[in-house]
Structure 1
Amino acid sequence: MSIQATDLFAALAHDTRLRTLMLLAEHDELCVCELTYAIGVSQPHLSRHLAQLRQVELVADRRAGVWIYYRVNPQLPGWAQAVLRETHAGLRDTNPFVDDLAALGAMPNRPDAPRCA
């Protein structure tokens, strides 16, 4: 697989996509309900941005029952993985990323429970 540098940096340039990618870098996989809860956006808003991330192949998804889980695409070239890794390392202890992680940690009814929030 190949990704254009302009596509990667365009993805990182939008707050919702950046926050989504940083959460996925921290947690190997998350479902849409976890991402919407953590970031505090509506499901249609997040789904639109996830579709953009899928289109440029930055994220991959899998279905498990009623859940669709997203992860950073493991097939990304090394340079793109390095950019995401360094971005995550530089931002994970700053806001809004700290708040996103705290919100996710406090989320009731995570997908492994009977209902998703």
Structure 2
Amino acid sequence: MLKTTMKIDDTVTILKLLGDKTRLTMMKIMDHYDCCVCELVEIFKVSQPAISQHLRKLRDLGLVKEERRGQWIFYSINKTHEYYPFIEQILQQLPSQADKLKALEEQGTRISCC
């Protein structure tokens, strides 16, 4: 249950970000898995700069966090964000995206950058 009352402007900002199919799918994936940019590039078949722009928009609002592991940076949802309960309710309505990562594993590209 959402405990925090959200400001209308904050809600609109989050909904605009999640209104993009790529960002919404990325958030669903990162709700369960840490991913690096190269994996997301492979999943969405778009350029690295395009994926980085999506991640930057999510990171700038604090919805996504990053963790450096060696020379690589992995991204995941910031579940400590004050509005995560709201985002979680949206993500729970979506189908699992685990098949996208399973396909990477089968291709041998799931951990190609690690």
TM range (shorter): 0.7 to 0.9
The percent identity for this pair of structures is 31
Unaligned runs of 5+ in 2: 1-5
Indicate the RMSD between aligned Cα atoms, in angstroms.
Answer: 2.5
Kept in 1, the 8 Å contact 2:78–2:84? The answer is no
Paired residues of 1:60 and 1:72 also in contact (CA < 8 A): yes
Query: 1:39 matched to which residue of 2?
Result: 44
Q: Which TM-score applies when normalising by structure 1?
A: 0.75
Q: Which runs of 5+ in 1 are unaligned?
A: none
| Count of residue pairs brought into register by the alignment | 107
TM-score with structure 2 setting the length: 0.77
8 Å contact kept, 2:72–2:113: no
Work out which of the two has the higher radius of gyration on C-alpha atoms and give 1 or 2: 2
Pairing 1:91–2:88 present:
no
Please list, as runs of the form range in 1=range in 2, the aligned pairs for 1:1-117 lying within 5 A after superposition. 4-27=10-33, 29-77=34-82, 80-93=83-96, 97=97, 100-111=100-111, 115-116=112-113
Rounded Cα–Cα distance in structure 1 between residues aligned with 2:39 and 2:107: 8
